[in-house]
């Protein structure tokens, strides 16, 4: 069985092992694959692994041996799942591997906003503390999370893990999801009937939604106007959930206090992306998923996906 990894570098820049996949077939690993090389590299492959490399009808039509596309990720919007199903190609994903890492990153942004750790460290190293008349100094209002309301839009695995952290800080929890699971074990928890209610009532809002045709740019200038002027927005989910032009305008006009983004509409962004010039924004380069622990789980589960397919019992199928 020929197995091809189209874009393996992000998952494994050298600190993990491909041995589990090598044991299952003839393995070829490419760090990155531009569109023009996809068909050439996947020729005669039965299994193709992709993270962000696009595969659609055009490619499938030229790959008659292909039987499984296994995503090195949870999201599968880069694959034309309908076209794959018509050709009898199974598409599988990794439904959960980065829950702890992503929720941790959401709070890394929140805590940076509350204390501006990097700024105060930089200023201390410049000598400002040594030169200060008092025994301490701060340049921003410092914020305590206890008693504040944490709003979570998208209350699946990662949203719930984010809620767990919030409640460990003593925060009240307000969540919205199209599917309501039993949360009776939680104190200071409420379901919001709409995403708008979360925006209206929360001190911090964290997005944990899948991207669909219905929720693209759900956070925009008009919806941001509904938030408290003291509120902070976090997006570690999908970049296109947020209209960045509207967010930049809202930040620059002081409609909300700040934002933390680990994902953007375009990735990687341009060097002169206007979002860089927004006030009170923290941007990290889509790394919430990328702890070694999370990537190790992703690798292990990818091996399980391919192993299950080889045994004739495929798992984690997204195009049934």
The tally of domains found in the chain comes to 2
CA atoms within 13 A of residue 101's CA, in its CB half-sphere: 17
Q: How far apart are CA 301 and CA 313, in angstroms?
A: 15
Domain with residue 26: its CATH number is 3.40.50.720
* % of the chain residues with pLDDT over 90: 97
- Looking at residue 210, what is its pLDDT? 86
CB burial class (10 A; 0-12, 13-18, 19+) of residue 139? Answer: exposed
- Please tell me whether residues 91 and 113 are part of one structural domain: no
Q: How far apart are CA 227 and CA 196, in angstroms?
A: 9
- Please tell me whether residues 83 and 197 are part of one structural domain: no
- Please tell me whether residues 52 and 159 are part of one structural domain: no
| Residues paired with residue 219 on neighbouring β-strands, in sequence order | 242
Q: How far apart are CA 104 and CA 164, in angstroms?
A: 11
- Please tell me whether residues 118 and 29 are part of one structural domain: no
Chain segment 52-94, per-residue pLDDT in tens: 999 999 999 999 999 999 999 998 989 999 999 999 999 999 9
Q: How far apart are CA 246 and CA 234, in angstroms?
A: 15
Chain segment 257-267, per-residue pLDDT in tens: 999 999 999 99
- Looking at residue 213, what is its pLDDT? 82
Catalytic residue ranges: 238, 267, 286
| Residues paired with residue 70 on neighbouring β-strands, in sequence order | 49, 92
Reduced to 3 states (helix: H, G, I; strand: E, B; else coil), residue 79 is strand
- Please tell me whether residues 105 and 93 are part of one structural domain: no
DSSP state of 135: S
Residues of the domain holding 54? 2-97+292-310
């Amino acid at each position: 069985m020929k197995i091809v990894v189209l874009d393996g570098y992000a998952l494994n820049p050298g600190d993990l092992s491909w041995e589990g996949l090598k044991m299952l077939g003839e393995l070829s690993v490419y760090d990155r694959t531009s569109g023009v090389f996809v068909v050439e590299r996947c020729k005669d492959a039965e299994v193709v692994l992709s993270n962000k490399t696009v595969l659609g009808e055009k490619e499938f039509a030229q790959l008659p041996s292909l039987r499984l596309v296994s995503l090195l990720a949870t999201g599968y919007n880069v694959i034309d799942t309908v076209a794959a199903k018509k050709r009898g190609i199974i598409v599988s994903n990794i439904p959960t591997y980065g829950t702890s890492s992503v929720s941790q990153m959401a709070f890394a942004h929140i805590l940076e906003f509350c204390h501006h750790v990097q700024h105060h460290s930089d200023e201390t190293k410049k000598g400002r503390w040594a030169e200060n008349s008092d025994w301490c100094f701060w340049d921003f209002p410092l914020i305590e999370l206890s008693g504040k309301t944490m709003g979570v839009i998208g209350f699946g695995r990662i949203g719930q893990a984010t809620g767990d952290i919030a409640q460990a800080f003593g925060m009240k929890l307000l969540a919205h999801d199209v599917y309501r699971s039993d949360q009776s074990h939680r104190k200071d928890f409420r379901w919001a009937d709409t995403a708008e209610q979360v925006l209206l009532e929360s001190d911090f809002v964290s997005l944990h939604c899948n991207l669909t045709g219905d929720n693209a740019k759900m956070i925009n200038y008009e919806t941001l106007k509904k938030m408290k002027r003291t509120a902070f927005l976090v997006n570690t989910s999908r970049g296109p959930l947020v209209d960045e032009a509207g967010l930049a305008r809202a930040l620059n006009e002081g409609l909300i206090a700040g934002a933390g983004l680990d994902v953007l509409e375009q990735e990687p962004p341009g060097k002169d992306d206007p979002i860089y010039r927004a006030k009170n924004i923290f941007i990290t380069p889509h790394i919430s998923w990328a702890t070694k622990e999370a990537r190790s789980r992703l690798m292990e589960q990818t091996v399980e996906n391919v192993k299950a397919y080889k045994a004739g019992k495929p798992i984690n199928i997204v195009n049934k």
